[in-house]
Structure 1
């Protein structure tokens, strides 16, 4: 009777370095864009072997999609709660938050050449870059409705996208930095008037931010 040999099991893949590699991929993307980025550059930045990356990701496109999908999301459980819509929106403006948003938009700019060619990449960008900020804004707008501060007839979906859309336009098209004065101008000049809050009323009720 012929003895059947048991199949040899390959070495288990080590995924412990995945976060470092994905962070390195995002850094290279922000600096070089998709077209200028290579797997070799990511491997060098992460101090990993090129073969290690190719065992985990079969192509640059797969690596990029994973890297974008793993980007830090907005923490919707710890949003500002000041008692006013303006106070909450201003409370979102923090130096680190602005820095992270700019980096995400630089990554998005670097991927612009691939968006029409890769629906998966476009979806990953929407979920990682645009949607989290829109969801944070929507949560704050819903609170304002519950407080009776703004009308329940407000178009929350459109309003929640104002800040992300204008920020993306400023970085991607105008190639200007996003700073606190710019974000305040959107809040006070666009978003609050759009929901029917007068500036005088807003400043009277909003804690200093």
Structure 2
């Protein structure tokens, strides 16, 4: 048999196994987030994720060889749903901008992320890769938004010029995490506006003019 015929035969041979269906990835990752929020990493199983996603257990394992690998990818994908710091509300005041971000989907997303963070704490402490992914996906996006709004307010002279932008940008995410994880209380619009009016704005040197909004 000549070499050309052999090459043609090899090229024409069908590939073994089914091709990966990438459309299932999003369903599996969303299911992972939901199961993590409900059961935590230690209580979560691949069977739970597969059932929630309507996929076979083998389908999950073909994509992610371990539960930790699956969780790292799922947490990292949460970042894609966040508000772009370059596309923020501009009401003319820091309070107006921050209040404009307090919407029902935003509050629900913050609670979900905090529950996920609580669910993976046991793994974060021993997995640096997951710790990095968790911070980048769960805390940094909101800190980045707050940072951008605080810097804009400072630049237009609305705040004190010497404000600690990084500390203030982290304040609300930290208080949301404490309320959800330590106090086991819901994150409400009223709570967020109270933090804004009684803690964040005074720390920035701003007296709220419309605390009822």
Structure 1 CA distance for aligned equivalents of residues 59 and 104 of structure 2? 36
Match of 1:176 in 2: 185
CA RMSD after TM alignment: 1.9
Q: Which protein is bigger by CA-based radius of gyration?
A: 2
The answer to which structure, 1 or 2, has the higher relative contact order (CA under 8 A, 6+ apart) is 1
Match of 2:199 in 1: 190
Partner of 1:203: 209
2:140 corresponds to which residue?
131
- Which runs of structure 1 show a deviation greater than 4 angstroms over 4 or more consecutive aligned residues? 1-5
Unpaired segments ≥5 residues, structure 1 = none
Paired residue for 1:16, among 12, 18, 23? 23
Which one of 94, 109, 122 corresponds to residue 118 of structure 2? 109
Q: 2:58 aligns with which of 51, 62, 78?
A: 51
Encode CA deviations 1:66-104: one digit per residue, 9 max, x unaligned. Answer: 000001223323322110111111111111111111011
Matched, 1:91 2:97: no
Question: Distance between the aligned counterparts of 1:134 and 1:149, measured in 2?
Answer: 19
Alpha-carbon shift at residue 158 of structure 1 (Å): 1.1
> What CA distance in whole angstroms lies between the structure 2 residues aligned with 1:47 and 1:165?
35
CA distance in 2: counterparts of 1:45 and 1:12, whole angstroms: 22
Q: CA deviation at 1:187?
A: 0.7
Q: What's the counterpart of residue 26 of structure 1?
A: 33
Secondary structure at 2:134's aligned position in 1? helix
Choose the corresponding residue for 1:64, options 31, 46, 71.
71
**How many residues are aligned here?**
204
Give the distance between the partners of 1:125 and 1:109, measured in 2 at CA. 11
Question: Structure 1 or 2: larger helix share?
Answer: 2
Q: Distance in 2 between matches of 1:183 and 1:59?
A: 37
User: Does residue 1:79 correspond to 2:85, yes or no?
Assistant: no
Could you state the TM-score of these two structures normalised by the residue count of structure 1? 0.90
In the TM superposition, residue 2 of structure 1 has moved relative to its aligned partner by 8.8
